Amino acid sequence: GAGVSQSPSNKVTEKGKDVELRCDPISGHTALYWYRQSLGQGLEFLIYFQGNSAPDKSGLPSDRFSAERTGGSVSTLTIQRTQQEDSAVYLCASSLDRRLGTEAFFGQGTRLTVV
């Protein structure tokens, strides 16, 4: 597709279960970001991948959160032992190269609800 694709669009899970969120960035984009947005709140940075460099994981809120980017393309955000406070919209974005100040393109997000 032409844009950033995220799946699933909605996910309801029971507290304590693990979830995986997927992001397909725009082809050729080397930079990929994950953000979290709670209801009525601004975007919270989680993790950033840039090419083959070590990812910036400084935004991950706890060790229950992890992310991978395989082959420099698809990324998976994993939340283990989900808690109710993990409920939010998880947004993925990609861009050609951050150092060029290029535009970030966002996916539609995955709405996670932990019950």
Partner 1 sequence: KNQVEQSPQSLIILEGKNCTLQCNYTVSPFSNLRWYKQDTGRGPVSLTIMTFSENTKSNGRYTATLDADTKQSSLHITASQLSDSASYICVVSEQTSYDKVIFGPGTSLSVIP
Quick check: 50 binds partner 1 (CB under 8 A)? yes
- Say which DSSP state 98 is in: G
Query: Pattern 66-95, binding to partner 1, x per CB under 8 A?
Result: -------------------------x-x--
Q: How far is the CB of 50 from partner 1 (least distance, A)?
A: 5
Quick check: 65 binds partner 1 (CB under 8 A)? no
Residue 2: name the closest of 33, 24, 19 by CA: 24
Question: Which amino acid belongs to residue 29?
Answer: H
Quick check: 56 binds partner 1 (CB under 8 A)? yes
Spatial contact of 75 and 32, defined as CB atoms under 8 Å apart:
yes
Spatial contact of 21 and 68, defined as CB atoms under 8 Å apart:
no
Q: How far is the CB of 100 from partner 1 (least distance, A)?
A: 8
Give whichever of 15 and 44 is closer to partner 1, judged by the CB atom.
Answer: 44
Spatial contact of 23 and 107, defined as CB atoms under 8 Å apart:
yes
Quick check: 41 binds partner 1 (CB under 8 A)? yes
Q: Euclidean distance between the first and final Cα of the chain, in Å? A: 32
The contact set with partner 1 (CB under 8 A) reads 4, 31, 33, 35, 41-45, 48, 50, 53, 56, 91, 93, 98-99, 101, 103-109
